[in-house]
Amino acid sequence: MTTISLSLKGLGKVFETDAMETHALKNVDLEIEKGEYVAVSGPSGCGKSTLLTILGLLDNPSRGEYVLDGENVASLCRDRAAEIRNSKIGFVFQSFNLIDELSVKDNILLPFKYSASKPSNEKLNEKVDEILAKVGLEHRKDHKSNLLSGGQQQRVAIARAIVNDPSLLLIDEATGNLDSENSQQIMDLIESLNEAGTTILMVTHDPVCAARAKRTLKMKDGMLIS
C-alpha cells in the first residue's frame, strides 16, 4: 500500500474576471504522506485558501496533476468529487461557515444531508454525542450556533469536519480570532486527531500554531517556497 496520501504536480489555478486574470497558484508541487501534519503559512492573498479549496475538491485546478489516495482527481465531475469529499475529506473553512439558524447538532450533521449512505437517526445521534464529547461541547448540542462564542463555533466547525471520520483534514485558519487559551485548546484537539491517524494540512498565520505541526511550508505569490 502506498504511503502517499496526496500528490500535486505543476498545479496551477487562474481566476478570470472581466477585468483581470489572477494567477492564484503557480506550478505547485507537493507530496503529503498518510498521517502527516503539515502547516502552510504565507502572506494574505498568496493562495493558501485556493490551495485548500482545490485539495478539498471544492474547485478544480486550471492545470496540473492532483492524485489523492492513488486516484487522479484533478478534473472530476461534481458528483464524484462530492462522493470523495463525503467519504475522505474534512474541511474547516476560514470563516467557520456554520448555519446560524441551525442547532449545533444539525450543523454537525450537515455533511450527511446529501450523503448517499446516510446512517440511521440513532447512529447519527450517537455520533454527534461522541463528537461533541471530543470537542468539549456536550452541553451545547441544541443551542443555535450563532449563540456560541467564537472558540465554541470553531469547535463546532471542527466537529462537522470530522463527523464522517475523514482520513484527510483540511483546516483554513483554525484559530484566526481566538485568544491564546482557546487557540491552544483547538491546537490540542487537532493534534489528538493527528495522533489518531488523520492526515492534516492546516493553513495558519500564527507561528505558534505552525510550530506544532510536524512540517511547515511557506507560500508566496502562488508558489510553495519551502
Ligand X SMILES: Nc1ncnc2c1ncn2[C@@H]1O[C@H](COP(=O)(O)OP(=O)(O)OP(=O)(O)O)[C@@H](O)[C@H]1O
In the complex, least distance from residue 15 CB atom to ligand X, rounded to whole angstroms: 3
Binding-site member from 4, 7, 12, 22 for ligand X (CB under 6 A): 22
**Strand order from edge to edge, sheet including 168-172:** 89-92, 168-172, 199-203, 37-41, 215-220, 223-224
Rg (CA), the chain: 17
Axis crossing angle, helix 150-162 with helix 121-134, rounded to the nearest 10: 130
| Cell numbers for 128 | 454527534
* Residue (171 or 193) nearer to Mg ion, CB: 171
Q: What is the footprint of ligand X within residues 93-112 (CB under 6 A)?
A: 94
Asked if residue 207 binds ligand X (CB under 6 A), the reply is no
Number of alpha carbons in the 13 Å side-chain half-sphere of residue 22: 11
Is residue 11 within 8 Å of 61, Cβ to Cβ?
yes
> d(Cα 74, Cα 167) in Å, to the nearest integer?
19
The least CB distance from residue 176 to ligand X, in Å, is 9
Choose which of 27, 49, 125, 216 interacts with ligand X (CB under 6 A).
49
Residue 86 · residue 164 · CB < 8 Å? yes
Which does residue 44 bind out of Mg ion, ligand X, none, counting CB within 5 to 8 angstroms by kind? ligand X
- The binder of ligand X chosen from 1, 19, 44, 79 (CB under 6 A): 44
Of the candidate residues 6, 28, 38, 46, the single one contacting ligand X (CB under 6 A) = 46
Q: Which of 2, 15, 99, 207 binds ligand X (CB under 6 A)?
A: 15
Residues that bind Mg ion (CB under 5 A): 49, 94
Query: Where does this chain bind ligand X (CB under 6 A)?
Result: 15, 17, 22, 24, 44-50, 94
